[in-house]
Structure 1
Amino acid sequence: MPPKFGTSGLRGLVTELTDDLVAEYTRAFLTACPHGGAVHVGQDLRGSSPRIAEAVIGAVRGMGLRAVDHGVLPTPALALASMGAGQAAIMVTGSHIPADRNGLKFYLPGGEIAKSDEAAIGAALGSGSVSAELGEFVREAGAVPAYVARYVDAFGSGALKGLRIGVYEHSSVARDALADALGQMGAEVVRLARADHFIPVDTEAVDAETREMLKRWCADHALDALVSTDGDADRPMVVDASGTLVPGDVLGPLVARMLGADVICTPVSSNTLVDQLGFGSVIRTRIGSPFVIAAMEDAGGKVVGYEANGGFLLGFAADGPAGKLAPLMTRDCLLPIVSPLAMARAQGVSLAGLLSELPPRFTAADRIAGIATEASQAFITELTATAEARAAFFVRRAEEVGLDLTDGLRVSFADGSVIHLRPSGNAPEFRCYAEAESVARAESLMRETLAAVADRVG
């Protein structure tokens, strides 16, 4: 399958992301979109990323523009730097997907590109002009310290004092920044499992083996919490002292409450507990940060956004415990990691104790890899067509009481459970989200449904 735009930028097989194709997309981006005279370039730790970043930089300079090379850094740190300079950015990353794939995330001077920008980039392919004079090339090393300082200044040097926090380093570009930030806020940091090869960590669908590993580390190292991110660090992973994962769509409402947000924008797949927390309004979108950002821009005011993967977007100038937090309209991992830990410490409770105060709604999510997008979409179309088709597939479920087609197929049942099916927007995968009144029930629903999908589509 040739590279294409999904829910988070351009993605494709490394073998198909040739230097010529990368350069063509870079030129199309700079032709179709504002750039502020320079492009900031970052990359994740995949083996293919240095080569692709070099192709991006060459194309930027070839158009006579200034290329600012930040090297390896978290995506939100790159966005913070480029937006602060009023200039464009391109992050070379495939996020959480396997190392045989990679991609490009494009940023305008004001933030992430919208779906309309993706269409404009596609229309501009092949039309970018080359300048007679190469643009300037500079290296920049200050973006990560500035990103860390953003949160240390907002939360204070004692926000996490007394907490023993593990950092699952793997191949996350944030592994050093995360440890630095937590340490500067007073935590005792235990660094775990640094990898010299790329590991595709999906914070929204953590496999059973990894969950057991995380639980074992929490016990062996007497941790108060354990944290990590996906490959490019725009999605958090948070685990409590017992080794239980805290879903991203639970972290999101906690952060929103701490910051005093009035309006929540979140995809239709997110946990419905947010609807019971007294926010001014909750706006549901299709899955993908461009849709969340569009809803945030339309809503205005004290608005935030988050996704089920945990990426959090701040749309207003908020007050942290120790200082101001400027808006950052791109998915971030550090804010949803630090906020609940700081809240729990300030209240004198454990992270699990903090979570116990929330409405008892629990989600589970996973995916089947290797299913062609066309097959997944055909199956969703079949179920969408008639209630009889859905009843035949969900044969052991309670009566259907609600249907949402905002993004894929989301069915609500009379027993309060929810099952949401959709093809992945980034890879040949089929995703399932389940929601119920207990963790065990949500996990069971999700596993049963994926097994049924595999029998039909796999």
Structure 2
Amino acid sequence: MNDNEQRTIAIRDLMESSGVRFGTSGARGLAADMTSEVCFAYASAFLQAVSATAGAVALAIDLRPSSPGIAAACAAAIRHAGLAVDYCGAIPTPALAWYAQMKGVPAIMVTGSHIPFDRNGIKFYWTSGEITKADEGNITHAVVALPSGELAIDLPAVNPEARRCYIDRYLCFFPEQCLDGMMLGVYEHSSVARDLLRDLLETLGASVVSLGRTDAFVPIDTEAVSHDDVERASGWAGQYGLDAIVSTDGDADRPLVGDERGQWLRGDIVGILCAQYLRAQAVVTTVSCNTAVERCGAFGEVVRTSIGSPYVIEAMETLVAAGGRTTVGFEPNGGFLVGTAIEKAGRILGPLPTRDAVLPMLCLLSMSREKGCRLSGLTLGLPPRFTASDRAQDFPTETSRRLLSELASSVTLIDELLGCLYGKLVRLDQTDGLRMFFAGGDIVHFRPSGNAPELRCYAESETPERAKELVLEGLRRFKLLADRARA
């Protein structure tokens, strides 16, 4: 690479020309638009924003076919900045974050997480965890130098230490053979954690059945589980006599946990149960979470935020700074964050302020063993509040925002669109999108996705059937509203 001749580029200009920009978690865009120039520039801006001038940068990828090429450009940027590339290979995002935290180095994760196959992304980590919204602002306003030579290099040999550190995190906290006798299915699909998860579960004593492994990338969204995956889980549970089924999204920071019947547990219920198992005193979650988190009475304080892990982390940091309480966070997608060290039976779990899929699944499995009940029995002690969610894909973000603004300013329009289905509107919450509370106890929440052109709908009611109906009908009516606006 010839570094003598360089040109400068502003990240803000690059965002406009490429369409690659920050969403709720990292920089995201169409894989075809994430060229070597774009990725080199983003990585350079990150290193500039966190003032990384010496040592190494940890780098990892998920299993999307476009990820190695993006990583090669990020590696070139790291090398160009005079830093060493510590390439950790294909590992979970939280594994990279934990390793970076242990080593005291910044990290770059190439992953599109759960978003559609034709997209990808880059997540950035400093030694204390995910970058903040302020860091994103600094990256956005950065101007970086690009060399005139190649903007990608061959990736170095994989350093397996990050994978080992991540597994050890759990082996040091959960008792030996704590899952002895359990028959667990791992829905592997294209999860970057599929082999690591099998190794970990077997080391803890479980018998593992591999399910649904594929060479093609499958974008699993833990907040909008497909009908096919619902049917698969039910069939697998019956076929193999499983105690539970576990899986993750593409980069393994969001869990899927299914009970012995193959029924997937909602992510916010997983989060509540995990927080109970860890005896958390303060919980941070998003505005879209099930109200059972307050109604269960298990936590001294519950703080709600806008949707996205940076907001959860920011609120966790505020609670941790106040001191004295075991603090955790989670999102309705099931991703679980640990803000303070946690002690249980003399074993210590260190803080990891980024979404993690492995911890909540291990907590629920251990909880069922300690209580002597099936996984389905863990939810019986929670208030009977049920949530559902889904999304309308290929729904322009600007259209969503405009229509939600119109709804928020007109109770009459809300009544015309939703009144006959939902009842009388009681109040609105515009913390993130539009969350509507109705007299009968139903809650419906619309918001544009921060990662893709999608409209998301969340609903909460007293039965799972009613919650699902609210989501499906709500999305249908919203699409009709959009069609009328275009006509």
Q: Give the TM-score normalised by the residue count of structure 2.
A: 0.91
Say whether 1:219 aligns with 2:243. Answer: no
Partner of 1:412: 437
Question: Distance between the aligned counterparts of 2:270 and 2:156, measured in 1?
Answer: 39
| C-alpha deviation, 1:280, in angstroms | 1.0
Question: Distance between the aligned counterparts of 1:335 and 1:283, measured in 2?
Answer: 21
Structure 1 residues 129 and 328, CA gap change in structure 2 (3 angstroms): farther
Which range moves more in the overlay, 258-267 or 138-147? 138-147
Question: Distance between the aligned counterparts of 1:58 and 1:307, measured in 2?
Answer: 34
Say whether 1:440 aligns with 2:475. Answer: no
CA RMSD in angstroms, aligned pairs only = 1.7
Question: Distance between the aligned counterparts of 2:46 and 2:172, measured in 1?
Answer: 35
Say whether 1:280 aligns with 2:300. Answer: yes
Question: Distance between the aligned counterparts of 2:146 and 2:351, measured in 1?
Answer: 32
The alignment partner of 1:161 has SS state of coil
Which string of whole-angstrom CA distances, capped at 9 and with x for unpartnered residues, describes residues 253-307 of structure 1? Answer: 1111111211111000011101022211110000000000000001113110000
Of 218, 222, 226, 1:199 maps to: 218
Question: Distance between the aligned counterparts of 2:479 and 2:258, measured in 1?
Answer: 29
Amino acid of the structure 2 residue aligned with 1:437: E
Amino acid of the structure 1 residue aligned with 2:176: S
Say whether 1:15 aligns with 2:32. Answer: yes
The alignment partner of 1:154 has SS state of coil
Question: Distance between the aligned counterparts of 1:129 and 1:358, measured in 2?
Answer: 58
Judge conservation of contact 1:367–1:430 (CA < 8 Å) in 2: yes
Partner of 2:23: 6
**What stretches of structure 1 of length at least 5 have no aligned partner?**
none
| C-alpha deviation, 1:138, in angstroms | 6.6
Of 171, 183, 187, 1:168 maps to: 187
Partner of 1:337: 361
Judge conservation of contact 1:23–1:56 (CA < 8 Å) in 2: yes
Structure 1 residues 438 and 89, CA gap change in structure 2 (3 angstroms): same
Which string of whole-angstrom CA distances, capped at 9 and with x for unpartnered residues, describes residues 135-168 of structure 1? Answer: x967411111221121122112222112111000
Of 108, 128, 146, 1:110 maps to: 128
Partner of 1:31: 48
Say whether 1:73 aligns with 2:91. Answer: yes
The alignment partner of 2:274 has SS state of helix
The alignment partner of 1:64 has SS state of coil
The alignment partner of 2:144 has SS state of coil
Which string of whole-angstrom CA distances, capped at 9 and with x for unpartnered residues, describes residues 302-349 of structure 1? Answer: 110000000000011112456210000110000111101110111100
Which range moves more in the overlay, 259-268 or 321-330? 321-330
Question: Distance between the aligned counterparts of 1:180 and 1:322, measured in 2?
Answer: 24
Partner of 2:164: 145
Amino acid of the structure 2 residue aligned with 1:191: S
| C-alpha deviation, 1:127, in angstroms | 5.0
Say whether 1:186 aligns with 2:205. Answer: yes
Partner of 2:13: none
Question: Distance between the aligned counterparts of 2:326 and 2:213, measured in 1?
Answer: 38
Judge conservation of contact 1:34–1:88 (CA < 8 Å) in 2: no
Question: Distance between the aligned counterparts of 1:6 and 1:179, measured in 2?
Answer: 31
Question: Distance between the aligned counterparts of 1:30 and 1:212, measured in 2?
Answer: 45
Amino acid of the structure 1 residue aligned with 2:118: D
Judge conservation of contact 1:67–1:138 (CA < 8 Å) in 2: no
Question: Distance between the aligned counterparts of 1:213 and 1:260, measured in 2?
Answer: 33
Question: Distance between the aligned counterparts of 2:345 and 2:184, measured in 1?
Answer: 20
Of 431, 435, 450, 1:425 maps to: 450
Partner of 2:399: 375
- The correspondence of residues 82-161 of structure 1 with structure 2, limited to 5 A, is 82-127=100-145, 139-161=158-180
Partner of 2:383: 359
Question: Distance between the aligned counterparts of 1:13 and 1:139, measured in 2?
Answer: 27
What percentage of residue pairs aligned between the two structures are identical? Answer: 47
Question: Distance between the aligned counterparts of 1:250 and 1:322, measured in 2?
Answer: 27
Partner of 1:228: 247
Amino acid of the structure 2 residue aligned with 1:453: F
The alignment partner of 2:457 has SS state of strand
| C-alpha deviation, 1:34, in angstroms | 3.7
**What stretches of structure 2 of length at least 5 have no aligned partner?**
1-17
Partner of 1:239: 258
Of 236, 253, 275, 1:256 maps to: 275
- The correspondence of residues 36-75 of structure 1 with structure 2, limited to 5 A, is 37-75=55-93
Partner of 1:289: 309
Question: Distance between the aligned counterparts of 1:357 and 1:159, measured in 2?
Answer: 23
Which string of whole-angstrom CA distances, capped at 9 and with x for unpartnered residues, describes residues 405-444 of structure 1? Answer: 0000000111111000000000000000000011111111
Structure 1 residues 129 and 28, CA gap change in structure 2 (3 angstroms): farther
Judge conservation of contact 1:418–1:434 (CA < 8 Å) in 2: yes
Amino acid of the structure 2 residue aligned with 1:408: G
The alignment partner of 2:141 has SS state of helix
The alignment partner of 2:173 has SS state of helix
Judge conservation of contact 1:155–1:321 (CA < 8 Å) in 2: no
Partner of 1:269: 288
| C-alpha deviation, 1:356, in angstroms | 1.2
The alignment partner of 1:329 has SS state of strand
| C-alpha deviation, 1:195, in angstroms | 0.7
